[in-house]
Amino acid sequence: MDELNGKMIACQILITGLIARVANEQGDPLRFLTDFRDEIKAVVKGVNIAGMDNTDGVRSVAQATVDELFSLMKPPSSD
């Protein structure tokens, strides 16, 4: 289980870096991040989760993960 958690954290860091890199190349990086976050949250809200009795719990954890991922990002510095 620790190995799986480590891989998930590494994946989150990789995705965060990729999103930040793409955002920095945009004319308005904060707007890009906001739009991207909203799209990801809409996907998580609408994804079909099969084979479970309590899909609300899984969806809640997925939404919290998205929030955590985007909270790791900081606005660009004014330098």
Residues 6+ positions from 16 with CB-CB distance below 8 Å: 69, 72, 73
pLDDT digits (tens, 9 = 90+) for 47-79: 777 777 778 888 888 888 888 877 876 665 565
Output the pLDDT for position 56.
Answer: 84
User: At 21, is the pLDDT very low, low, confident or very high (cuts 50, 70, 90)?
Assistant: confident
Output the pLDDT for position 68.
Answer: 83
Is the pTM above the cut of 0.75? no
Output the pLDDT for position 71.
Answer: 80
Domain ranges of the chain: 2-71
